[in-house]
Amino acid sequence: MADFKIQGITPAEGKLKLGSSDVSKIYNGSTLVWPIANDSGDPYEPVFGAARFVATDNGGVINLYDTSFNTITPPSPFGSLPNSNYHLGGVSDNLSYMVACGHSSSTEEIKISLDGGQTFSNPSSGTFQSDFKKTMVSKSGKVILSAVPTTTYPPTSDANWMISTDYGVNFIKVTLPSVIAVVSALGGAISSGGKFIAISNRVYTNTGTYIDKAFYSKDYGATWNDASSFGQGDRRWKPLISGSGEYLIFINISDPSNSFYSSDYAENFIQKNYTGLEIQPATILGTAMNESGQYYIFSETLYGNGGGVVYGNNYGSTLPQNRISTDSTGARNVRISNSGGTILWSDEGSSAPDYSFSDNFGSTWSTVQSAPSSVGQGPVFLVDVS
């Protein structure tokens, strides 16, 4: 199908017609391309639907649940992941796109589903070994980011992030400024459409040194900004990004009082004092923010006190705002719906992960309980389904 173009005119919304139907919006896939947004935000128009959980059992079978883990029949039947060495690495809203990745202890070639989980296959180009804990998928499914494991020391340029901006059909290597290779991925966040991305890494630089550095992109990963001006060293930045990309926060785990905050699509940052967060620097932590940025959840590992989550409704302007203690394994898996109405935390690695959720914007939380054994040891994804 040829591209549809309007040359020399800028029609008002609702004035363009195809046949007898008014056209108020034009999409490329699920991305809004007309009318052009008036701000700098991510043009993806999110789904605001029913909150659903998606998880796989230990045999690679995909299951759909409501927020009480009652099984729901999906709109189209799910297939199975390629084998039991796979977990889901990401699921788009409306279940249209899925990514299958290896366990952290058994990396596998990344697999993509373009048909709602019915079938999985290799990308057309850029196949690589993947790990579900180091993979991010935008809620649109358009942008996928996954870290390639390091196998040699000093690492080579083969150890880096891989990115797809076409729903996983093709992947290319991310080129980060002044970095030879990514030694380990420490955290990341991505906006709903994938326009805004933030990653935290242990990297091997072109000066032959190992250092913690963070980067962010405002153009679907085409170019990257080095956040070294925020400081380097043993900081292990943990990013939060709102679905629209309007809010982007870098939390300094080693010194939360020296964190950085943007409320204008990463155009400007101010220093934030988040004293009160109790975080063990070596831990990989989960972060999530809703579409508007008002609601957020951030997982902690407390020194000698097990795990916990911080959550709130103030756009991340102060942390911690509210805290829940979880258990000794922590709550590294955190999710939030587009509206912020449903928030989930769960741990990983046990046959029946502990979890709790809120269906009222964090006002109250369900009793902590074990998920059914069908959930398996992998992550639980929260998606909006229309």
pLDDT (tens, 9 = 90+) of the chain, 386 residues, equals: 444 544 444 444 444 445 545 565 666 665 555 655 446 789 999 999 999 999 988 788 899 999 989 999 998 999 999 988 899 999 999 999 999 999 867 789 999 999 999 999 999 999 999 988 899 999 999 999 999 988 888 888 888 999 999 999 999 999 999 899 999 888 899 999 999 999 988 899 888 888 888 899 999 999 999 887 776 555 568 899 999 999 999 988 878 888 999 999 999 999 999 988 877 655 566 899 999 999 999 887 655 555 688 999 999 999 889 988 776 566 778 999 999 999 999 887 667 788 899 999 999 999 988 888 888 877 899 999 99
Annotated domain spans of the chain: 16-385
3-class SS of residue 64:
strand
C-alpha dihedral (238, 243, 245, 249), degrees to nearest 10: -20
DSSP string of 116-152? TTS--B--SB---EEBGGGEEE-TTSS-EEEEPPP-S
Contact 196, 217 (CB under 8 A): yes
Neighbours of 220 (CB within 10 A): 19
What are the φ and ψ backbone dihedral angles of 4, each rounded to 5 degrees?
-95, 125
pLDDT in tens, 66-104: 998 999 999 899 999 998 889 999 999 999 999 999 986
C-alpha dihedral (106, 107, 111, 113), degrees to nearest 10: 60
Residue whose C-alpha is closest to residue 182's, from 215, 156, 207, 164: 156
Write down the CATH number for the domain with range 16-385.
Answer: 2.120.10.30
Half-sphere exposure of 144 (CA within 13 A, CB side): 34
pLDDT in tens, 314-331: 999 998 899 887 765 667
CA–CA separation, 348 vs 16, rounded Å? 50
